[in-house]
Structure 1
Amino acid sequence: MQEQVSDRLVGTLVDNRYAVRSKLARGGMSTVYLATDLRLERDVALKVLHPHLATDETFLDRLGREAKAAAKLSHAHVVGVLDQGNDGQTAYLVMEHIKGHTLRDVIRSKGALPPRLALALIDPVVQGLGAAHAAGLIHRDVKPENVLIADDGRIKIGDFGLARAVTTSTSTGTLIGTVGYLSPELVLGKQADTRSDIYSVGIMLYEMLTGQQPYDGEVPIQVAYKHVNETVGPPSALVPGLATEVDELVQWCTANDPENRPVDGNALLQELRHIRTNLTDAELDLIAPAAAPGGQQNPTEIIARTNNPTAVMSSFSRPQPQQSPQAPHALYPPDADYRPGEQYRPELQYRPQTQYGPDDQDAAPAAVPLSKRAQRRLDKEDEKARSRAAATPVRSLREGNPRRRGVLWVVVLVIIALLATGAGWFFGMGPGSPATIPAVANKSVAQAQQLLSEAGFQSRTNDVFDDAVPSGLVVGSDPTAGTETRKFQPVSLFVSKGPQLFELPKLTGGTLNDAKNALNKAGMALGAVTEQFDDAVAVGVVLAQDPAAAAPARHGTPVNLLVSKGPQPIPVPSVVGLEENAAVDAIEAAGLKADVTKDEVNDPKVPKGSVAVQSPATGTLTKGGTVTLTISDGPKLVDVPSFIGKQAKEAEEALRALGFEVRVHNILGGFFGTVRDQDPVKKKVPEGSVVTLTVV
């Protein structure tokens, strides 16, 4: 059944700028539309919060934090966030529109991918995550649906809807993410960091290599249970012949303990590229056995958060009511945590774990396949354990007496009591006691450190970009203000470096359309466009820009442009009838050029030496345009024949045909109609002269 495409926003204008053209997708918290930015004349993806959440200040605050956090990140493999705002009851986020398809479409159509293609597709994803991790962002919802492949081949990771700037995090009691790719620590309600994204990348790489996810279940909680209680096996179990290095890479990323994963995207990228360059062509081009294409969609799931693994198992084991699992597309994440400065630990540490199904808690443990690197590590640890056991006596050579044993027990009990007292002090009043993180935002580093010290905490600083907080002031802390934690836990202070600035492109010398494209590419906005006449520059060429080229500016900064209207038009003055020199002076004074022709014309109305004709006579010319002048030679001289003795009517017609003006003077009423006298007669006179006839 075809989806109904009608929507109340389609065909409307959001915030007097974004023309909504069609609906692209709908999730649990938002709908994504294809829109046109009328100011910059480009297509964008407009993510609109659902109406029932648009009035929720908590969600609106998250939307604002998401936009600020993601907008700081500018990377070739990350979908850019361009704008955010509210238009009445419409809360929206504007993102770069990528025309193409997703990695899910590739897996659905091809199934298992050869290692060469899988590693090539995952490389830009890891590179984009590495840039996000370096900027203090965690994605939290890495999955094939969020990997966008443009028609021109560009690969970008999108929808940082679950990403959170470490400077503005808070904790919630809800777990939001896609359950098939969710890390164990997120399922258990623990703090997330960059290694949580690495786990999701490992699951995604497993699916690309095998055509299926490592875990499945009838309901999301079953899959979540397996993430916590099982270990991802090597993909070679489903794809025989797969290189050992690829198995180890997947299992390194999907280790249950975050300490055994790559520390962040950049650490993983180095190992990924090392493996790609060291595998043979045969290993890279290995064709997997026929596998079912990965056609299932992976909606973002919302699961109640718990710190108790037993609760996860109990939730799984109890009979569940027959209902559809809640699976909205979560734009607004619970706040996750970032731990900057973690030690990079590339070693692999895998141990067999007992696997139980929901109805066979008494079943025998099942060994999980280990990689060669992990097996070598276990062998070394077993050898050390055997050495320690061999050096430890199993039986005392002297049994001792009962009194001595009694004294020994007293000493042991005293030591235990002292330890218990010390532990009570440590966790009750000492460094292990709980305390609340004070508010340190918008304070100087010294003030923030003093507040933390007074509360019993040790702190460390990390520099971050922030558009709202002035440079040198504290943006926030991790854990955030109001969080209760143990005093021995270190607190990270995030100090603002001010807004991240980018150089403005040079726009002068190009056309207005070129300037718009350059601003769009640089992520800047088009400001006011002013036009000005310029005799030397063609119409539509940019004369100046403000701010100037190479000036540092934030993304979205409007740039004002001064554009040429071409040479200024000059009205052509009328000089017909003016003496030649006066006419030339008048034309040159207007900024034009006078061209006097050699040929003169007779004109009965224009004196000799004056302008009889000009071309053009009216209209406008640009500066330096030419006006052609023709000078009058005065009236033409015509012979006046004699009509004396002839009839007046005949004489009058003949004279008018020669161009004369005729006046008739009748004597005695002109009874006979005969010309008795004529003036002038038989001489040359100017054309148009008056000839007087006396008629009797």
Structure 2
Amino acid sequence: MQEQVQDQLLGTLVDGRYLVRSRLARGGMSTVYLATDQRLERDVAFKVLHPHLANDHTFLQRLSQEAKAAASLSHPHVVGVLDQGQDGHTAYLVMEYVKGHTLRDLLNEQGALTPRLALALIDPVIAGLAAAHAAGLIHRDVKPENVLIADDGRIKVGDFGLARAVTSTTSTGSLIGTVAYVAPELVLGKPADARSDVYSAGIMLYEMLTGRRPYEGDVPIQVAYQHVNSVVGPPSGAAPGLAVDLDELVQWCTANDAEQRPVDGAALLAELRHIRTTLGDAQLDLQPPLMRAPAHPGAQAEAQTAIVTPGAPRNEPTEALAVTGRPTEVISRQSNPTTVIPPSGIPGVHAAGSTATQQVPRPGKRELRRLERQEEKDRARAAATSVRSLREGNPRRRGLIWAIVVIVLALLATSAGWFFGMGPGSPGTIPDVKNRTVAEAQQLLRTAGFQSEPRDVFDDDVKAGFAVGTDPASGLVVRKFQPIALFVSKGAQLFPLPSLAGLTLDQAKDELNKARMTLGIVTQAHDEKAPAGTVLSQEPAGTTPARHSTAVALVLSKGPQPIPVPDVRGMNQDDAAKALQDAGLTAQIAPETVNDKKVPKGAVVGQSPANGTLIRGETVTLTVSKGPKMVKVPSFVGKQAAAARAALEKLGFEVVVNNVLGGFFGTVRDQSPVDTDVPEDSVVTLTVV
């Protein structure tokens, strides 16, 4: 039922911005879709929370705070959080979309990896965790499914903040995470810190080196209690031939006592890189054994983060536990190691009162190395001590030999102390050399006891010839014999801008996106040739070398400039045609002329169009006047004046009557004009007697 609700998002527009296109993955707390941010026109990973979490106001408030914290973390090996919000009943996170596959996909395909590949893949993961820990963030769900490998080789850690938000809002008896990688303190209900992430990373490295997880079980709670009650064995036990340093590294990370682990990701990263430089090619390229079949049907299934209770059906993808009723008890004894006894009735786990698996405390990494050095000294001392004296009964010779042995051991101890205390083997802090000249940067590194090797790189922020940084990064403590890569800026990497002239605005945007440039200010201008809506020009010009994200300003065509139609009515035909031509228009004379009593012959009596605007070169039709209509004036001499007047007015003439002697008889004696053609509306004068 829930699946149908989630699938209804496909093809919908969330928050008026994110177009959901396809589903990428589904987990215990959320479903991830591929969506398009229509505002910025880019693909994003769109994570939609399941309804039981989306309806929890306290959880949503906590999630918002965690999303803001995760969004503030900017690191090349951490998936960026871009947005967070809620649209109706849809609560979502928007993250950077990394096109590629996960570390889980790689492990499912290849099984165990060579140490060289395993260390190369986990290095950026630990670097991302180190940056998060430095910013005060804890991942809480480190696992291969959350390690994204892009098609171009970039490696990023995803899903920061979500597990932490869930943990903060669920009950104290709940455990959120993936059971195959969960730290023991989380199973015991203790708070998580950076060392919990380190533990999960150690379990993940074990799986990468051996092709299997250290703990497996028929139900998740069995695996959880193995994390608490057992000690992770050396990976060489499952993959013979692995270097001792790798065994130490994994067991250091997966110590049951958090105090015995690296304090955070930065400490682990320094040791990881140190080991990578000390192992030989044969150790790094050791071919792993063939991956054996899983111990149980779900051993290699993709782990999902969820919240469940004991007794959940076996076929659910459960990887997180909620311990209810009887919490885990930690029983301390004076004479015995710490014993963790789980609640009774849990399948595959000893009940209270039965023989419990004892957690044997073991020394930390530094203590192990101290013991190893002491053992080496003991072996050297034993080798230098003769079983029997060179000359029986000669105490002076025997004393001399002992003196030589003591001197040699003292010299060895002094040399070792100098090497590891003040010499090339002593630890040192890498100084910050950013924005310094190469000579200054190398001098700083030499003063700190390091030898550096310059490497040229492109950088948008640091000027050419100045230091960008180092590898390992500044602030890390490493052995002084470890080589340091000094990155020197070649300046910003420039790329040719695309030529956009003649393209539509949408086409221009697509070209800018492909070139990883941005759209600048868009203005418009008239152009007589370019169609409206196409690009006339751009700034900077096409093919100009520029940085990525350079803003390109565009000028779009509004089409030809409109021209107001001049009024040429009443003008002479030739003058009217010239006036239209001067305005950029074409005059066309209508074939028929018309009479007009007010417009003289040869003048323009009408035009079409009479007003408005036209495009340059368009036509205005002119109608020319024939002058007024000519009417013949009949003779009314000898006629009665009243009848003559009425007849003339009917013909359209204006009649003027001049009475002679008072016009007593009312007879027209004279008329002007008479018997001739005159223009209509002309004046006809009648002389009446």
TM range, smaller chain: 0.5 to 0.7
* 1:604/1:634 contact within 8 Å kept: yes
Counterpart residue number, 1:436: 429
> Shift of the alpha carbon at 1:55?
9.0
State TM-score, norm by structure 2: 0.56
Aligned residue number for residue 540 of structure 1: 533
Match of 1:89 in 2: none
Contact kept, 8 Å, 1:221 with 1:315, in 2: the verdict is no
Query: Any idea what SS the aligned residue of 1:426 has?
Result: helix
| Cα deviation, residue 511, structure 1 | 0.9
Deviation at 1:529? 0.8
Contact 2:464/2:491 (<8 A) preserved: yes
Task: Find the aligned partners of 2:202 and 2:537 in 1 and give their Cα distance.
Answer: 49
Deviation at 1:360, TM superposition (A): 6.0
Matches within 5 A, 1:499-538: 499-538=492-531
Give the corresponding residue for 1:632: 625
Equivalence for 1:424: 417
What is aligned with 1:571? Answer: 564
AA at the equivalent of 2:304? Q
Which position in structure 2 is the counterpart of 1:144?
145
**Structure 2 CA distance, aligned partners of 1:461 and 1:358?**
57
Residues 1:580 and 2:573 aligned together: yes
Q: Show the 5 A alignment for 1:230-241.
A: 230=235
Partner of 2:489: 496
State the distance in 2 between where 1:608 and 1:652 align.
Answer: 29
Relative to structure 1, the CA distance from residue 494 to residue 603 in structure 2 (aligned partners, 3 Å threshold; closer, same or farther) is same
> Hey, what does 2:350 align to over in structure 1?
none
**2:401 is aligned with 1:401:** no
Structure-1 separation of matches of 2:469 and 2:274:
29
Runs of at least 5 residues in structure 1 that lack an aligned partner in the other structure? 6-10, 72-78, 85-92, 108-112, 164-176, 235-246, 272-285, 302-313, 323-356, 363-391
**Separation of aligned partners in 2, 1:205 and 1:665:** 132
Instruction: Give, in whole Å, the separation in 2 of the partners of 1:691 and 1:224.
Output: 134
Q: Deviations over 1:8-31 (max 9, x none)?
A: xxx999xxxx96899x99999xx9
Higher mean C-alpha displacement, 669-678 vs 638-647: 669-678
Q: Is the 8 A contact 1:180 1:298 kept in 2?
A: no
* 2:627 match: secondary structure: coil
Q: Report the Cα offset of residue 475 of structure 1.
A: 2.2
Alignment of 1:292-311 (within 5 A): 294=301, 296-298=303-305
Contact kept in structure 2, 1:640 and 1:683, CA below 8 Å: yes
The count of corresponding residues between Structure 1 and Structure 2 is 515
For 1:282-361, what aligned pairs fall within 5 Å after superposition?
A: 294=301, 296-298=303-305, 318=340, 359=357
Q: Which of residues 464, 468, 472 is equivalent to 1:475? A: 468
- Return the offset for 1:562: 1.4
2:454 corresponding residue in structure 1: 461
Q: CA deviation at 1:318?
A: 4.4
Secondary structure of 1:519's aligned partner: helix
Higher radius of gyration, 1 or 2? 2
Partners of 1:604 and 1:687 lie apart in 2 by 7
Q: Would the alpha carbon gap of residues 289 and 199 (structure 1) be closer, same or farther in structure 2, given more than 3 Å must change? A: closer
Alignment RMSD, CA only? 6.6
Offset of residue 560 of structure 1: 0.5
Deviations 1:232-265 (A, max 9, x none): 969xxxxxxxxxxxx99xxxx99988799999xx
**8 Å contact 1:26–1:32 — kept in the other structure?**
no
CA contact (8 A) 2:669 2:688 kept: yes
Residue 630 of structure 2 aligns with an amino acid whose one-letter code is: L
1:188/1:608 CA distance change after superposition, 3 Å: closer
2:584 aligns to what SS in structure 1?
coil
User: Where does residue 227 of structure 2 map in the other structure?
Assistant: 222
- Unpaired runs of at least 5, structure 2: 7-12, 48-60, 84-92, 131-141, 161-176, 184-192, 251-271, 286-292, 307-318, 321-335, 345-354, 361-382
Which residue matches 2:584? 591
Q: Work out the CA distance in 2 between the residues paired with 1:157 and 1:216.
A: 35
Name the SS of the counterpart of 1:632 in structure 2.
strand
Map Cα deviations across residues 366-388 of structure 1 (whole Å, 9 max, x no partner): xxxxxxxxxxxxxxxxxxxxxxx
Output aligned runs, 1:26-425, within 5 Å.
Answer: 36=37, 38=39, 40=40, 52=65, 63=73, 65-66=74-75, 69=76, 143-144=144-145, 160=157, 202=208, 218-219=223-224, 222=227, 229-230=234-235, 294=301, 296-298=303-305, 318=340, 359=357, 401=392, 403=394, 407-425=400-418
TM-aligned CA distance change 1:624 to 1:254, over 3 Å: farther
| 1:561 Cα deviation after fit | 0.7
Cα offset, 1:620, TM superposition:
1.4
The one-letter code sitting in structure 1 at the alignment partner of 2:145 is: P
Q: Which residue of 1 aligns with 2:313?
A: none
Q: Is the 8 A contact 1:642 1:678 kept in 2?
A: yes
Deviation at 1:587, TM superposition (A): 1.1
For residues 315 and 684 of structure 1, the distance between their equivalents in structure 2, rounded to whole angstroms, comes to 140
Quote the Cα distance in structure 1 between the aligned partners of 2:17 and 2:108.
Answer: 38
SS in 2 for 1:518: helix
- Higher RCO (Cα < 8 Å, 6 or more apart): 1
Q: Secondary structure at the match of 1:456?
A: coil
8 Å CA contact 1:232–1:254 kept in 2: the answer is no
Q: Which amino acid is 1:467 matched to?
A: D
Residue 595 of structure 1 aligns with an amino acid whose one-letter code is: Q
Contact residue 180 and residue 223 of structure 1 kept, 8 A: no
Cα deviation for residue 567 of structure 1 reads 1.0
- Tell whether the 8 Å contact from 2:146 to 2:159 is kept in structure 1 after alignment: no
1:610 to 603, 607, 611: 603
Deviations 1:239-292 (A, max 9, x none): xxxxxxxx99xxxx99988799999xxx9xxx9xxxxxxxxxxxxxx9x99869
In structure 2, distance between residues paired with 1:54 and 1:535:
52
Change (3 A) 1:157 1:461: closer
Q: Residue 650 and residue 584 in structure 1: after superposition, are their counterparts in 2 closer, same or farther (change >3 A)?
A: same
TM-aligned CA deviation for residue 514 of structure 1 = 0.5
Residue 144 of structure 1 aligns with an amino acid whose one-letter code is E
Shift of 1:606: 1.6
| Deviations 1:566-614 (CA, angstroms, capped at 9, x unpaired) | 1111111111111122112111111122223443322222222222222
* Residue 82 to residue 359, structure 1, CA distance change in 2 (3 Å): closer
Residue 588 of structure 2 aligns to which amino acid in structure 1? D
1:552 corresponds to which residue? Answer: 545
1:467 CA drift (Å):
2.3
The farther-off stretch of 453-462 and 556-565 is: 453-462
| Aligned equivalents of 1:97, 1:516: Cα separation in 2 | 20
Structure 1 residues 259 and 584: alpha-carbon distance in aligned structure 2, compared to 1, 3 A threshold: closer
The separation in 2 between residues aligned to 1:204 and 1:688, in whole angstroms, is 117
CA pair 260-43 structure 1, distance change in 2 beyond 3 A: closer
Paired residue secondary structure (2:445): helix
Letter in 1 for 2:620: V
* TM-score, length-scaled by structure 1: 0.55
**Residue 413 (structure 1) shift:** 2.3
Task: Give the C-alpha shift of residue 559 in structure 1.
Answer: 0.6
> Would the alpha carbon gap of residues 445 and 216 (structure 1) be closer, same or farther in structure 2, given more than 3 Å must change?
farther
CA gap of 1:291–1:319, structure 2 versus 1, over 3 A, is closer
Give the aligned partner of residue 374 of structure 1.
none
**Alpha-carbon distance in structure 2 between the residues aligned to 1:180 and 1:669:** 136
Quote the residue 1:691 is aligned against.
684
Distance 1:446 1:521 in 2: 39
Structure 2 distance, partners of 1:602, 1:676, is 34
**1:201 and 1:675 mapped to 2: Cα distance?**
134
> Is the contact made by 1:579 and 1:609 (CA closer than 8 Å) also made in structure 2?
yes
Partner of 1:74: none
Contact 1:535 1:568 in 2 (8 A): yes
Give how far 1:53 is off. Answer: 6.4
Q: Is 1:619 matched with 2:612? A: yes
CA deviations over 1:174-218 (Å, ceiling 9, x no partner)? xxx9885799xxx997999xx9999599599979xxx99999965
Check whether the contact 1:179–1:224 (CA below 8 A) recurs between aligned residues.
no
Partner residue of 2:310?
none
* Deviation by residue 1:15-61 (Cα, 9 ceiling, x = unmatched): xxx96899x99999xx99978464x55565699996656998xx78x
Q: Which residue does 1:561 correspond to in 2?
A: 554
- State the 1:466 CA deviation: 2.6
Q: Secondary structure at the match of 1:507?
A: coil
Supply the AA of the counterpart residue of 1:441: K
